[in-house]
Structure 1
Amino acid sequence: MSVKGSFGIVALLVAGALSASAQVSPYSWKNLPRVSMPVFKKDTFNILKYGAKPDGLTLNTGSINKAIADCSAKGGGVVLIPQGLWLTGPVVMKSNVNLHVNRAALLQFTDDKSQYKLVEGNYEGHVAVRNESPISGINLTNIAITGDGIIDGHGEVWRAISKERLTEAEWKKLVASGGIVSENGKTWYPSASYVKGLQTPGAGILGRGKTLADNEPMKDFFRPNMLVLTNCKKVLLQGVTLQNSAAWDIHTLLCEDLNVQNVRVRNNWNAQNGDGIDVESCKNVLIEGSTFDAGDDGICIKSGRDEEGRKRGKPTENVVVRNNVVYRAHGGFVIGSEMSGGARNIFVYDCTFIGTDIGLRFKTTRGRGGVVENIFIKNISMRAILHEAILFDMYYGGKSPGEDDVVKDEATIPVTEATPSFRNFYVNNVACNGAEKALMIRGLPEMSIKGIHIENSTFQTDKGADIIEGQDVSLKNVYLQSKDSNPLINIQNGSNIMFDHVTYKNAELLFKISGKKSAGIKLLNTDTSKAKNKAVFGAGVANNVLVVK
């Protein structure tokens, strides 16, 4: 069986439905274990019995954590957050506990930053000083957060924001609330402590004589991710709404058997680093039926950053992402840019992206290292995408989509362990109605992006496709309707590229081909008569690099 044909079989395998006798390709996870679900005792520990009060005034941190600790100590069960407005500080999960938030409950984390102590945590792939997360758990087994209630991180008191991202009325209200406005009047900061951290080189670094106590004067700068689970097994997040995080909303690190089902994540579109979910160095993951509104990437796969991530050496692997919706976000489904431990065996299907900056976003840069491979994507619907429908970018510089650096890279740089690699992506049945560009592939001169295969897809966009430093790329049964078709397809230093049955309305120029490494470009089963000009070739590129059949 071909790699492309194994898509549906792998989805069944993850659900445990594939027979052992089935013949599958090496890429189809033949030996993939099932994603195990946690199981809990029926015993219920109501936080009301621990003195908690749903008045929005009482700080219930002690009551909630005592209920969780007692539940775990007695063999586990359900800790119930019933109807009410429950003000609390940080909540610490324990093994065998299902924290159940009632539909009519609002678990509101306090805006009193003194309730969150400084801890050694992890941020954007590095060990770093952070404030304690509103909800956290370390080295746990058999845990869950369930129910249809709302968990709010009170993130607006932690985040800086620029004036241009607010209305005039919102800006005036924010400035009147306190905090500090930058000298140029363009940015609001929550406190002097935040500004001190922003202005301190190496803020948050531990070791080399630096301790947590040394970072206290800039405490506000270390914004916490709202839910952080580290090295946990058999995890279930189901039904709840998690919203208004200070930074990333859900961060799972080094977890195994992670189930995310019918969760709603809500961060404002202008929430700094407001990712929906970041799955980092995890194994056996299912994300399904969930909805994301994010201030940064929506559903994101990571595995550590640079040398630190490579040393950890834990890829995110064996992941299924299905039946999800992503609204405003920097990317709908994303891998990177902190992917130094690698990512592999990932299946994304039956998802919808509406209004995201980019639809499918794969990003890295020199220094990361790591291999991202065997990524299978199918049945994706997109509408009103701001920039690229599909983006592979090895020049990611930490900027938001639309703010990319102009790349003028003619350097010959040796390939080392710090050189990242993207390879073996299979994309089938994408429909995009509205985007700036259909496809961008931008590899490195020393490391092409390899093995990108896109089939049975339609793109209604302003611009067509760019393939820069791409190798072994194929587009088959692809429709490109582009407002700017001069050229429709731009190839720079691309090799072994096949276009089979590409359709389009009209084009000023079908191909622009440049770069001395461009070679082996084939156009099959395609009507070239709708293009005013079939191809132009840059300096040093022979006309015969393009073969039309």
Structure 2
Amino acid sequence: MEKLVASGGLVSDDNRTWYPSEKSKKGTGVKNAGVISPDKTAKDYEEIKDFLRPNMVVLTRCKKVLLQGVTFQNSPAWCLHPLLCEHITLRDVYVKNPWYAQNGDGVDLESCRFGRVENCVFDVGDDAICIKSGRDEQGRKRGVPTENFIIKNNLVYHAHGGFVIGSEMSGGARNLFVSNCTFMGTDIGLRFKTTRGRGGVVEKIFIKDINMTNIPGEAILFDMYYMAKDPVPLAGEKAADVKVETIPVTEATPQFRDFQISNVVCHGAQKGIFIRGLPEMPISNITMDNIVIKAKKGAELLEASNIRITNATFEVTDSDPLINVRNSREIQLSNIKFDEAKNFINIKGEKSGVVVSGTDIKKAKDKPVFADGATAGALTTK
């Protein structure tokens, strides 16, 4: 921070964020700053001009697009942004942005259908391969999901997420097939994020044969409390807790469901699996099979439903507990392998129900813990 301040610019009121100019700082406080409306002119945007960084390549309503063997580098914001396109292919593309490039995504496929992303390399400042379909009411009104894509044989170095869906997924996403990808040092490996207000349905996502190494955050993350912050807290920071409350389901309630994830190997992460849904809309119908994870922590399942983890191996340094469950029902854990654990499972909440099979949970030093309304009847072993 001291080096940035010495170079010029200014810092936020809480001394946590550096801005290159006053116009850049002011833009962060303007709601929907980039939305153009008929009652505004170019002059109205002048005082936040530095905040309005453009994307490098935008393709809108194009068909039969091929980007092949090209390097894209140093974009002001998103690098590649196909919007409402059909039959688009990225092959042997290299996308590179500095690690500090805020919003420096690699490729954002927004409300597109029929395409491939293959044999590409990403080393960027934000999410690498990202699926979007519009934000909040505007995205729902457009109502065009991103669908029918094959994403395979890609390599991701630095990024906030290797393969990402959201958080602007209000038009939905479906029929995505991801395979044979490698993530090396991405903040999060598989990252699926949304928040209340988005709406939209993300479903029928098929992922297999993923290799990861040196992941600072989670290897696999589903989070419905996205807060537009860096996915990994800076040194000395602590991830903010969320207020858990149930609100009525509306068209603005997002949904994540029907994911199949198999053959994933992660060598080094802060946490292996993190699933956090909403009380009124749990993340549901997630299958994970043949998972091998070496991490500090194992798995955390919060406000989820019908989660099946089968043939999973955990090698963790903090196993208190290895698996944490809160208000999640129809959780099936089958053939879970681990060396030693202080506590295999901690179950909270009266809604919870877990079935463990083919697993020697007696290897753990302590017995399962039940709290916050959960009783011993919440756990069935076979």
TM over 0.5: yes
Counterpart code for 2:373:
G
- TM (normalized to structure 1)? 0.66
1:475, CA displacement in angstroms?
0.7
Residue correspondence of structure 1 range 244-323 to structure 2 within 5 A: 244-323=74-153
Distance 1:543-1:241 versus aligned 2 partners, 3 A rule: same
Q: What CA distance in whole angstroms lies between the structure 1 residues aligned with 2:258 and 2:18?
A: 44
Counterpart code for 1:294:
V
Q: What CA distance in whole angstroms lies between the structure 2 residues aligned with 1:186 and 1:364?
A: 24
Residue correspondence of structure 1 range 221-232 to structure 2 within 5 A: 221-232=51-62
The answer to whether the 8 Å contact 1:475/1:500 transfers is yes
Structure 2 residue aligned with 1:503: 337
- SS in structure 1 of the partner of residue 365 of structure 2: strand
Distance 1:485-1:192 versus aligned 2 partners, 3 A rule: closer
Q: Are 1:239 and 2:48 counterparts?
A: no
Superposed CA deviations along residues 150-207 of structure 1, whole A, max 9, x for unmatched, are xxxxxxxxxxxxx27xxx4x775xx2xxx53347787654445434544556644433
1:289, CA displacement in angstroms?
0.2
**Alignment partner for residue 241 of structure 2, among 393, 402, 406?**
406
The answer to whether the 8 Å contact 2:314/2:338 transfers is yes
Q: Give the alignment's Cα RMSD to 1 decimal.
A: 1.8
Q: What CA distance in whole angstroms lies between the structure 2 residues aligned with 1:539 and 1:389?
A: 28
Structure 1 residue aligned with 2:380: 547
Structure 1 residue aligned with 2:366: 533
1:529, CA displacement in angstroms?
2.9
**Alignment partner for residue 433 of structure 1, among 242, 267, 271?**
267
Distance 1:408-1:299 versus aligned 2 partners, 3 A rule: same
Unaligned runs of 5+ residues in structure 1 are: 1-162
Residue correspondence of structure 1 range 77-476 to structure 2 within 5 A: 163=1, 168=3, 172=6, 175=7, 180-182=9-11, 189-198=19-28, 203-207=33-37, 209-403=39-233, 404-409=239-244, 411-476=245-310
- SS in structure 1 of the partner of residue 137 of structure 2: helix
Counterpart code for 2:97:
N
Q: What CA distance in whole angstroms lies between the structure 2 residues aligned with 1:196 and 1:446?
A: 36
- SS in structure 2 of the partner of residue 418 of structure 1: coil
Superposed CA deviations along residues 282-336 of structure 1, whole A, max 9, x for unmatched, are 0001000000011011110000011110000000000111000000110000000
1:400, CA displacement in angstroms?
1.1
Q: What CA distance in whole angstroms lies between the structure 1 residues aligned with 2:243 and 2:27?
A: 34
The answer to whether the 8 Å contact 2:12/2:19 transfers is no
Distance 1:187-1:490 versus aligned 2 partners, 3 A rule: closer
Distance 1:171-1:513 versus aligned 2 partners, 3 A rule: same
- TM (normalized to structure 2)? 0.94
Q: What CA distance in whole angstroms lies between the structure 2 residues aligned with 1:536 and 1:201?
A: 45
1:221, CA displacement in angstroms?
2.2
Q: What CA distance in whole angstroms lies between the structure 2 residues aligned with 1:481 and 1:196?
A: 46
1:527, CA displacement in angstroms?
1.5
Distance 1:393-1:531 versus aligned 2 partners, 3 A rule: same
1:210, CA displacement in angstroms?
1.5
The answer to whether the 8 Å contact 1:397/1:405 transfers is no
- SS in structure 1 of the partner of residue 215 of structure 2: coil
Give the helix-richer structure, 1 or 2.
1
The answer to whether the 8 Å contact 2:346/2:370 transfers is yes
Counterpart code for 1:470:
A
Structure 1 residue aligned with 2:236: none
Superposed CA deviations along residues 229-266 of structure 1, whole A, max 9, x for unmatched, are 11111111111110111111111110000100000000
- SS in structure 1 of the partner of residue 44 of structure 2: helix
Superposed CA deviations along residues 472-506 of structure 1, whole A, max 9, x for unmatched, are 11111100111000100000011111111100001
The answer to whether the 8 Å contact 1:180/1:191 transfers is yes
Q: What CA distance in whole angstroms lies between the structure 1 residues aligned with 2:311 and 2:18?
A: 49
- SS in structure 2 of the partner of residue 219 of structure 1: helix
The answer to whether the 8 Å contact 2:258/2:284 transfers is yes
Q: What CA distance in whole angstroms lies between the structure 1 residues aligned with 2:331 and 2:29?
A: 48
Q: What CA distance in whole angstroms lies between the structure 2 residues aligned with 1:201 and 1:308?
A: 14
Distance 1:183-1:455 versus aligned 2 partners, 3 A rule: closer
Residue correspondence of structure 1 range 515-534 to structure 2 within 5 A: 515-519=349-353, 521-534=354-367
Q: What CA distance in whole angstroms lies between the structure 1 residues aligned with 2:277 and 2:178?
A: 22
- SS in structure 2 of the partner of residue 513 of structure 1: strand
Superposed CA deviations along residues 508-542 of structure 1, whole A, max 9, x for unmatched, are 101100111112x1111112232112411114222
Counterpart code for 1:181:
L
1:213, CA displacement in angstroms?
3.6
Superposed CA deviations along residues 428-480 of structure 1, whole A, max 9, x for unmatched, are 10000000000000000000100111001100000010000111111111001
The answer to whether the 8 Å contact 1:256/1:282 transfers is yes
The answer to whether the 8 Å contact 1:362/1:393 transfers is yes
- SS in structure 2 of the partner of residue 436 of structure 1: strand
Structure 2 residue aligned with 1:147: none
Counterpart code for 2:271:
K
Structure 2 residue aligned with 1:53: none
* Structure of higher CA gyration radius: 1
Counterpart code for 1:406:
D
Q: Are 1:479 and 2:313 counterparts?
A: yes
- SS in structure 2 of the partner of residue 269 of structure 1: coil
The answer to whether the 8 Å contact 1:516/1:541 transfers is yes
The answer to whether the 8 Å contact 2:10/2:22 transfers is no
Q: How many pairs does the alignment contain? A: 376
